[in-house]
Amino acid sequence: MIPLVIGLCVIVIVLVVAMVFILKTRGKQPQQPQYPPQPQLVEVPAEKVEAMVQYIEAQKQQAEQAQQLKDLKRADQKQKLEHFKQTQEQLKDKLQQQLSTKQWTPLEKILNSADKGGIGIYVLYNKTKNKYYVGQAKQIYKRIRDHFAVEEMARDHMSGDEITATFLTANELDADYRMDHIERLGIEIFDAEKKGYNKKQGSV
């Protein structure tokens, strides 16, 4: 009799536990997936949109104009280079004649001057050592003064060498050639790379 009662009690307990589990399971709602909040769209005023479009178009036009200028400059340089190759000897003769008629200025006069000078080609001549330097500059006098701050010519000048200078300004130079071309020929005329101060033949 007692085992039967115990068995019935166990069955009742199991049924009660099962009912509680079923009720709890049914009461649970499936969790909804969590999504980040949707950003709110901000309406941009029409005038601001128009201003942005105009700015982008202006930037585009500026870039196109800059590229056109680069292309024109490149084409001009190519044309002048071809002209230089064809007429190099004539230009060299003309340049030699121009330089032969120019006066030479004592270096001290340039070093003590506040004048920056203009665009052109200049020639420095060390009379003591018979050495030349040929260069080009946008401010000739200023560039010459720069030479005598640190370079080999400065040491020669400090040691007492007599140095003079001459130059051809932009309006005396042939506009059909670049200053690079004229500088290179000047270096050749005075043999300024092999026997002078120039470290290279010049760029063309």
pLDDT score for 81: 86
Q: Is residue 52 part of a domain?
A: no
CATH code (residue 177): 3.40.1440
Q: Is residue 92 part of a domain?
A: yes
- Are residues 145 and 110 in contact, defined by beta-carbon separation less than 8 angstroms? yes
pLDDT score for 102: 93
Q: Is residue 114 part of a domain?
A: yes
For residue 123, the surrounding DSSP H or E stretch is: strand 120-126
pLDDT score for 131: 95
Collect the ranges in the chain with pLDDT lower than 50.
Answer: 204
Report the alpha-carbon distance of residue 30 to residue 172 in Å, rounded: 93
Q: Is residue 184 part of a domain?
A: yes
pLDDT score for 57: 86
Q: Is residue 160 part of a domain?
A: yes
> If you count DSSP H runs as helices and E runs as strands, how many of each does the chain have, helices first?
6, 4
pLDDT, one tens digit per residue, over 121-158 is 999 999 999 999 999 999 999 999 998 876 788 999 99
Q: Is residue 170 part of a domain?
A: yes
- List of residues 6+ apart from 104 with CB closer than 8 A: 125, 164, 165, 166
pLDDT score for 122: 97
pLDDT score for 28: 55
Range of the domain at 121: 80-189
> How many domains does the chain divide into?
1
Q: Is residue 61 part of a domain?
A: no
pLDDT score for 51: 84
Q: Is residue 154 part of a domain?
A: yes
Task: Give Rg (Cα) of the chain.
Answer: 44
